[in-house]
Amino acid sequence: MNDLAAPAEEAVVAATAAAGPATTLDVALNPLRDPRDKRLPRVAGPCVMVLFGVTGDLAKRKLLPAIYDLGNRGLLPPGFSLVGFARRDWKDQDFAQLTHDAVKEHARTPFREEVWKQLREGIHFVPGEFTDDGAFDALAMALKEIDETRGTGGNYAFYLSVPPKFFPTVVKQLKRTGLADAPPGSWRRVVIEKPFGHDLKSAHELNEITNEAFAESAIFRIDHYLGKETVQNILALRFANNLYEPIWNRSYVDHVQITMAEDIGIGGRAGYYDGIGAARDVIQNHLLQLLALVAMEDPTSFDASALRREKEKVLKAVRLPADLGLNTARGQYDAGWQGGEKVVGYLQEEGIPPTSTTETYAAIKLEIANRRWAGVPFYLRTGKRLGRRVTEVAVVFQRAPHLPFSKTDTEILGQNALVIRVQPDEGVTVRFGSKVPGTAMEVRDVSMDFAYGESFMESSPEAYERLLLDVMIGDPPLFPHQREVELSWKILDPIEDFWHTQGQPEGYPSGSWGPESADAMMARDGRVWRRL
């Protein structure tokens, strides 16, 4: 979290080394030079990224383009190499072609031939099955050769972008071949994509297997929401300012709404999604991480251990309501209209069994049992095929204790709110009452907006650019610790168990804002979901 605090020592070393002798000397000889100086970019040191699952959607849409974008921004070292491993009868050029097409289609920054050429020189492919010892021996050989020809120094990051059932096999292979053990002076890291297990028990088992091969400090669990600028900005907003913290508590806050709405359906992901559902897919990770950042106490610094400690403390304090029937809702999308197009219902999606009880919408109410938040509900909701794509955190404040106006003057006055707009319209909104121009004292809601696009020239990097760079630099604050993962499962498991006894989720039309039971859940508390 170098933007907010001193970068890890390793990051500075990597950055200075990559920037050449002048910069190294400059830093070494000029003690006045602050290593946090923005002019000193965070650059990855020499290394190889080994990608398992290169033909998957994530690799094509996010990972390969992010690697190119890093290269385009000058943040990869010259010898950087990318090795793909998959069950395909491919040569290096086939993987290079796939990477090229993915970059052309999905990269954030413009395509530049010279950047691509440099990246292309470091692209290799190793064919094989995850169970094939020979293929992993060949991978070890290939990596050794790359070290010799490209000066990557035995530094490898293994990115497991594969279905979770393969995690144990791949990790065991990395251990067997010795690839998990870093020789002195080099590093080995493993990057695991969510889901980290299916429940607390399986998450624990997965961790034990990973820990047998890699030290905790070498394990990077990806929650891509933490790589988003707007999510990191929650920390800046809360802890770089003095304006909000005094009112950021039960004395002023009425409730908090965290929404992650998507307009897309499950697309081609039936195999992954069915049996997982909305809550395991995004509440267990993205939404609970947002809750933790919004509700935690201020960390003593932004280094990984201090940040994680505060997130853990608040996740530990989360409490479920006694009656889960009244305080949770789940739904499954029916056919409907979206963006002017007719779309099928979840049960008609290809690959979904017609009897599936998987939820595509989930809403839950949580409380936090600590001095700051006691009695303040946190409402979390997410769903596919909703009205539009929007993720936000809304901190809704209590009404003014006394209004010295006539009732009709403030008839349509809502509650003050501070809304962190995570995406797509990134920024922050403050909603408050203001006098309507005229001769009467009429008060109505207005809003004050901060928009990234207007305040900053720089465009935001993709979450995966930031996170991949952090992996290569070895900077872990934006990666959840296993304890956070397990605490999140502890929150979700009882809800999943309860839902398991409830049969079919309630239907909701595609393009709507979810099932009626979600509105009823809020209405019982005298509240409404924000209209987005």
Catalytic amino acids? 286
Count of positions on this chain that bind ligand BG6 (CB under 6 A): 4
Q: Which of 11, 259, 47, 236 is nearest to 147 (CA)?
A: 47
Least Å from the CB of residue 480 to ligand BG6: 13
- When the beta carbons of 43 and 293 are compared against ligand BG6, the nearer one is 293
Dihedral angle sign, alpha carbons of residues 191, 195, 201, 206 = negative
Give whichever of 50 and 282 is closer to ligand BG6, judged by the CB atom: 282
Please give the DSSP secondary-structure letter assigned to residue 245: G
Cα gap 470→230, rounded to integer Å: 17
Quickly tell me which residue has 């972008």 as its tokens.
161
Phi then psi for 214, rounded to 5 degrees?
Answer: -125, 145
Enumerate the β-bridge partners of residue 258: 380, 393
Q: Per-residue x/- marks for ligand BG6, 371-410, CB under 6 A?
A: --------------------x-------------------
Applying CB under 6 A, which of residues 51, 171, 253, 282 lies at the interface with ligand BG6? 282
Tokens for 479, please give them: 């990666």
**349 interacts with ligand BG6 by CB under 6 A:** no
Beta carbons within 10 angstroms of residue 502's beta carbon: 14
**Residue 262, CB half-sphere, CA atoms under 13 Å: how many?**
14
281 in contact with ligand BG6 (CB under 6 A): yes
For ligand BG6, the closer CB: 166 or 244: 166
Write down the least CB distance from residue 383 to ligand BG6, Å: 11
Nearer to ligand BG6, 281 or 392 (CB): 281
Q: 423 forms bridges with which residues in the sheet?
A: 391
Instruction: Supply the minimum distance, in Å, between the C-beta of residue 71 and ligand BG6.
Output: 22
Q: How far is the CB of 398 from ligand BG6 (least distance, A)?
A: 30
Minimum CB separation of residue 62 from ligand BG6 in Å reads: 9
Residue 362 in 3-state DSSP?
Answer: strand
Using CB under 6 A as the binding rule, whether residue 261 contacts ligand BG6 is answered as no
Is 230 within 8 Å of 422 (Cβ atoms)? yes
Residues 6+ apart with CB under 8 A from 447: 429, 430, 431, 432
Give the x/- contact pattern for ligand BG6 in 306-345, rule: CB under 6 A: ----------------------------------------
Q: Tell me whether residue 2 or residue 259 sits nearer to ligand BG6 (CB atom).
A: 259
> How far is CA 465 from each of CA 195, 244, 354, rounded to the nearest angstrom?
20, 30, 39
| Cα–Cα dist 476/480, whole Å | 8
* Euclidean distance between CA atoms 91 and 83, whole angstroms: 11
Selected from 69, 262, 334, 359, the binder of ligand BG6 by CB under 6 A is 262
CB of residue 281 vs ligand BG6: minimum separation in angstroms? 5
Minimum CB–partner distance for residue 417 and ligand BG6 (Å): 22
Q: Determine if the peptide bond prior to 195 is cis (ω within 30°).
A: yes
Query: Please, which residue, 385 or 481, has the CB nearer to ligand BG6?
Result: 385
Question: How far is Cα 165 from Cα 271, in angstroms, rounded to an integer?
Answer: 12
Q: Which of 282, 471 has the CB closer to ligand BG6?
A: 282
Where do contacts with ligand BG6 occur on this chain (CB under 6 A)?
Answer: 262, 281-282, 391
